[in-house]
Chains A and B, each alone.
Chain A
């Protein structure tokens, strides 16, 4: 069973990795996303607010985990996404995959984060240091990264 959490509270990546260990697990790969203040321009980001579609979000993440488990041999899989207002430096997303072999774990993690960005109903609004606020636009590069797994 994958572990899927959508929550306002922070998470502990170390504790999450420890949960995925076991006698049949050869390795655990993970990705931790962190709110970044700099987005290549000024003004800098003062905070992000994450909105989501309760119900559909959990279903989309469960489907994503099921896709990864069908495609790679995993002994465990975790997806955690925070919602609400987050400050630069805070954790925002965590995905991890455990497997008997490193290749499966590493590829599954890359797939999970690439697909999460285009298939789970989350939206980010940025608050800038100059007091302005704006919804983040979807990036073509994210669409391309997710589409790459379909080839």
Chain B
């Protein structure tokens, strides 16, 4: 599974992307956020408040309850601010 990070999520984590297998016991976006929080202090800072995190699976917006089964590309980022 490829994880992509954008904007301040990327800056807090200090990486633009990382590759890892779906962690054992993790089945949803919300579960992955909880798991990632323990990965490094940067991850903990980025994912401190899940209400400020948006997710896309396969480049489509996904919610906290969305299942990760079969996901190849998962992106985490702040609420969008274009326009």
Residues of A within 8 A of B (CB): 33, 50-53, 55-56, 59, 81, 92-93, 113, 116-125, 135-138, 142
Contact = CB atoms under 8 A, between A and B. Distances in A.
B29 to A, nearest CB: 15
Determine the interface band of chain B, counting residues with CB < 8 A from chain A. 10 to 19
Given A53-B56, A53-B59, A125 B7 contact: yes
B30 interface: no
Interface stretch (B19-27, B34-42, B63-71, B75-83): B75-83
Given A125-B7, A135-B8, A93 B82 contact: yes
A52 to B, nearest CB: 7
B80 A120 contact: yes
B77 A121 contact: yes
Interface string B43-83: 00000000000001001110000000000000101111111
B41 to A, nearest CB: 19
Given A53-B6, A56-B75, A121-B77, A116 B82 contact: yes
Contacts of B7: 51, 123, 125, 135
B2 to A, nearest CB: 12
A59 B58 CA distance: 11
